[in-house]
Amino acid sequence: MVIKKSPENDQDRPLYNSRIIEPYIKLILKAGFSQVDVNNLLTYAQMQPYEVADQGHWFSQNQVDRFYERVTRLTGNSNIARDAGRFAASPGALGVMQQYLLSLLGPARVFRLVNKAAANFTRSASYQARRINRNKIEIRVTPNAGVKEKSFQCENRKGFFEAILMMFNYRLPDISHPECLFEGDAACRYIISWQDEPAALWQSLRNYLIAALLLGNLALLPFAYPMVRDHLAPTSILLALLVSLIAARSEKKALRNSLQEIWSAAEDQVSRINTHYNNAQLASEIGQVISSKIKDGLLDAVASILEKRLDFDRGMVLMANSERTQLQFRAGYGYTEEQKRLLEETAFHLDRPESQGPFIVAFRDQTPLLINDVNVIEGTLSLRSLALIKMLGSRAFICCPIICEGKSVGLLAVDNRESKRPLVQSDISLLMGIAPIIGISIHNAELLQTRSQQFQSTLKVLAASIDARDYMTAGHSEKVTEYTDAICQAMNLSPEFSEMMRVAALLHDYGKIGVPDFILKKPGRLSSEEQALVQTHPGQTREILERIHFEGIYRQIPEICWAHHEKMDGSGYPRGLQGDEIPLGSRIIAVADFFEAITSKRHYRDPMPFDIALNLLQDVSGSHLDPEIVTTFIRYFTTQKACPVSTQKPLDHEIQRRQLRIACRTQVSCRALNRTFSGTSAYLSTSGMYVAMDGELDEGSLLDIVFALPEEANRLVRAKARVVWVNDHSQRPAPSLPVGFGLEFLEIQHEARHALEDFIHHAQKCA
């Protein structure tokens, strides 16, 4: 949508409908004025192509004046205004006007209602019509207050008056202009006279002849000789029949021509209705894509819709990168695989001021461009761009900027190669209507994706805030989430339910934030009172999560987390539910939580070996845990061998360290290559540690690290270390661990080493 400023004076008021300009454009294209660049012409007149095609748009006097001044100079035709008016009557030139005027059934009626008809095209003046006789009309045109018209508009009106008669197959009328505003008169007065059609003349002759013959026969027959009487009557009848036949044929021809005009107008209207319907369907289908696709799949789906709905052989969508330095191919249709590969490898640079290619200009200026002949723009293109055009075989194309919230975000380009259908201004109008829809779609998809990422990040932070309280249980929620997701996948549960379960698994223990540390970190068995306090955490989890505004399927999360310690035989807590009374999601998390707990190190025991843990899982199947879910999990686990140790990158120097490694979460500061990184440890040993963080470090990189031992913040450990393995986005040798690095201590201060050994020894002893 183009937002215009309020008019500063009367000349800036919207006075003329875009249908006034459309005949000029069509005349230029039809008459072959090759020297006229329509885009430049409209730009000079401060008009947009889609505004001209929009029949509900109105232009100001200034815009119309600038347009006429430019088009007269470019065409060299001083009578262009009158020619454009006449051109309005040519077949298909101005379908809507033709259709409207034909519906009034006759030129006389059109002229008598000229004020009403003119209101559809201009607000600059008032029209009064006075009938002089059957074939003569006087029209007086008085400019409205404050409007300063130009003399060329007199000629344009004459052309339109001529067009009205020509629409009804009449010959050019005689138009006199005895009074003119631009010659000092108060208004413009036009006298329009025309001759009847041949059909009307023959009808009049027939009627007069029949009347004359009838009266003549009645008067003469009684006095005529018998011989004359015998021949006069038949001759009169034959003559009357002959004239009637000629009149009927002439009338039929005129009627056929009128029907042809009406049929042509009807076809034009049907075509417009089909176009509007097609465009509405296109907008609707793109809207449906918004609700079902994320950003990565959105543009491919949009390209498929454009291919189905648009009358172009090929089309593509280019999008600006996040830095807004390049336009990159994102989706398209009609291209060969080789051409698509070439487009994907080509970047159109936005950060080079000297770039003047049509894509760059359209993007920067937010203006659509129609290139009818690529040879004309060769001088503005780089050798690489020329090679690309040659490879694609493009001869003419249209490119329209994709604009969202006033900013260019991409480009929509189309061309015809196989059909050879010429590209016209109305195509620009169509594409400029589609491009904002694509822009809004992309913007909404980005908002949804950002919202989803923020939501997931918030959940992970909440889960990490619980794990951070105790280094021994660090990573528990993430591991339970991993097992939960695996169970959902193996059970073929819906993607929506699986996503909801990932969130529930991350937050299932959040209520432990209210359990005192001395209970959570107690190295021995809990007393009955302490056990009772621990068993309050599901209820606290539910109370906290109910304060979060979950929507849709996510509303189940507080209930699922509340019941994840219930047991199949009813011996669980907090409500003693049994069997199917326990929500399915709670039963899934119960299996994942149970297995993760017994296979991880705790303050009061060592981790249980996986084979023993699987046997224990089977032992409690049916009594405590859902047997179907247990069977599903065991099948998954034994098939996938989901073991963090076995999936890590095999390193000889790490084998000994694994025996001494403990789970430990503490902040770590790393400095390398004159840059400082911060991360969080996951595991710690006397000879190294694993640090979770994003960074650009390779194996063998040397760095200085500083970290504090948990519960001993006043004891900092400083060491020189080396990266011995990398767990990055592209290659995850340890997928259960977050992205980060395995470090080996190379040099550590004596006191710091003793502190580290004491801490690890104490942790092992407590276990």
The residue ranges of every structural domain in the chain are 10-193, 198-269, 293-448, 468-642, 652-766
**Which position has the higher pLDDT, 531 or 632?**
632
Q: Residue 632 — pLDDT band, cuts 50, 70, 90?
A: very high
Res 435: pLDDT:
84
**Range 405-432 average pLDDT:** 81
Backbone angles phi, psi at 17, to 5 degrees: -70, 150
| Rg of the chain, C-alpha, whole Å | 43
**CB–CB of 199/254 below 8 Å?**
yes
Pick among 3.90.1520.10, 3.40.50.1010, 3.60.20.10, 3.30.465.10: CATH of 10-193: 3.90.1520.10
Least confident of 302-311, 337-346, 417-426: 417-426
What pLDDT was estimated at residue 587? 96
Is the sign of the CA dihedral 656, 660, 662, 668 positive or negative? negative
pLDDT at 419 (0 to 100): 67
Q: Which two tokens stand for residue 469?
A: 């309280």
Q: In this structure, what are the phi and psi dihedrals at residue 685, rounded to the nearest 5 degrees?
A: -140, 175
The whole-angstrom separation of Cα 306 and Cα 316 is 9
**pLDDT value for 6:** 41
In whole angstroms, what is the distance from residue 39 CA to residue 679 CA? 57
Residue appearing with tokens 């090929």: 314
Among residues of the chain, what percentage have pLDDT more than 70? Answer: 70
229 pLDDT more than 60: no
Identity of the highest mean pLDDT range in 107-116, 474-483, 576-585, 707-716: 576-585
- Beta-bridged to residue 193, according to DSSP, are 136, 174
- Reply yes or no on whether the pLDDT at 103 is more than 50: no
How many angstroms separate the first and last alpha carbons of the chain? Answer: 69
- Residue 396: which pLDDT band, with cuts at 50, 70 and 90? confident
**pLDDT range class, residue 567, cuts 50, 70, 90:** very high
- Could you tell me the two tokens for 221? 């027959």
Quick check: helix, strand or coil at residue 721? strand
CATH of 652-766, one of 3.40.50.300, 2.40.10.220, 2.102.10.10, 1.20.120.160: 2.40.10.220
Q: What average pLDDT score do residues 146-161 get?
A: 79
Let me know the angle formed at the C-alpha of 386 by 382 and 387, rounded to the nearest 5 degrees. Answer: 115
Q: CA 485, 487, 491 angle in degrees (round to 5)?
A: 120
Question: Contact at 8 Å (CB) between 747 and 720?
Answer: yes
pLDDT higher than 90, residue 80: no
pLDDT for 59 equals 85
Burial 645-662 (b: 16+ CB within 10 A, else e): eeebeeeeebeebeeebe
pLDDT confidence of residue 660: 58
Check pLDDT > 60 for residue 625.
Answer: yes
Distance CA 398, CA 413 (A): 6
Split at pLDDT 50, 70, 90, the class of 89 is: low
Distance of CA 434 to the CA centre of its chain: 9
Least confident range from 361-365, 527-531, 576-580, 721-725: namely: 527-531
Query: Which residue has tokens 């201060």?
Result: 749
> pLDDT class for 648, splitting at 50, 70, 90?
very low
As given in the structure block, the two tokens for residue 199 are: 């059909």
Q: By percentage, how much of the chain surpasses pLDDT 90?
A: 10
Mean pLDDT, range 615-639, rounded to an integer? 89
Average pLDDT (161-170) is 70
Which pairing describes strands 397-404 and 740-748: parallel, antiparallel, or unpaired? unpaired
Average pLDDT over residues 341-367: 86
Distance (Å, rounded) from C-alpha 708 to C-alpha 759?
A: 11
Regarding predicted confidence, which is higher, 310 or 220?
310
Per-residue pLDDT band at 230 (split at 50, 70, 90):
low
| Beta-sheet pairing, 712-727 with 58-60 | unpaired
pLDDT band at 433 (very low <50, low <70, confident <90, very high): confident
Mean pLDDT of all residues in 429-439: 80
For the residues 430-455, what does the mean pLDDT come to? Answer: 79
* Position with higher pLDDT, 624 vs 528: 624
Give residue-wise pLDDT tens across range 315-348. Answer: 999 999 888 898 989 889 999 888 888 888 888 8
Residues 434-442, mean pLDDT to the nearest whole number: 80
**What sign does the dihedral 38-44-50-56 (CA atoms) show?**
negative
**Quick one: which of 597, 595, 510 has its CA closest to 548?**
510
**Predicted TM-score (pTM) of this structure:** 0.47
Q: Which numeric CATH code is attached to 293-448?
A: 3.30.450.40
Higher pLDDT, residue 657 or 165: 165
Q: What confidence tier does 561 reach under pLDDT thresholds 50, 70, 90?
A: very high
Cα gap 419→181, rounded to integer Å: 51
Closest C-alpha to 35, from 77, 68, 91: 77
pLDDT of residue 501 exceeding 90: yes
In this predicted structure, which of 113-117, 265-269, 409-413, 597-601 has the lowest mean pLDDT?
265-269
Q: What's the average model confidence in pLDDT over 688-713?
A: 82
Ramachandran angles phi, psi of 151, nearest 5°: -65, -30
pLDDT band at 214 (very low <50, low <70, confident <90, very high): low
Please indicate whether the domains covering 10-193 and 468-642 agree at the CATH topology level.
no
Q: With residue 638 as reference, give the H or E element that holds it.
A: helix 627-640
Residue 583, pLDDT score: 94
DSSP line for 254-300: HHHHHHHHHHHHHHHHHHHHHHHHHHHHHHHHHHHHHHH--HHHHHH
Q: How confident is the model at residue 650 (pLDDT cuts 50, 70, 90)?
A: very low
Report how far residue 87's alpha carbon sits from residue 71's, in angstroms, rounded to the nearest whole number: 15
pLDDT band at 170 (very low <50, low <70, confident <90, very high): low
Least confident range from 382-386, 428-432, 462-466, 684-688: namely: 462-466
Q: What is the pLDDT of residue 764?
A: 63
Q: How confident is the model at residue 732 (pLDDT cuts 50, 70, 90)?
A: low
| Mean pLDDT of the chain, nearest integer | 76
Structure tokens at 493: 């549960």
Pick the closest to residue 189 from 137, 116, 118 (CA basis).
Answer: 137
Burial 420-456 (b: 16+ CB within 10 A, else e): eeebbbbbbbbbbbbbbbbbbbbbbbeebeeeeeeee
Per CATH, the number for 468-642 is 1.10.3210.10
Question: pLDDT band for position 95 (50/70/90)?
Answer: very low
Q: Which of 241-255, 395-409, 569-583 has the lowest mean pLDDT?
A: 241-255
Name the band, by pLDDT with cuts 50, 70 and 90, for residue 216. Answer: low
**Do you know the residue count of the chain?**
767
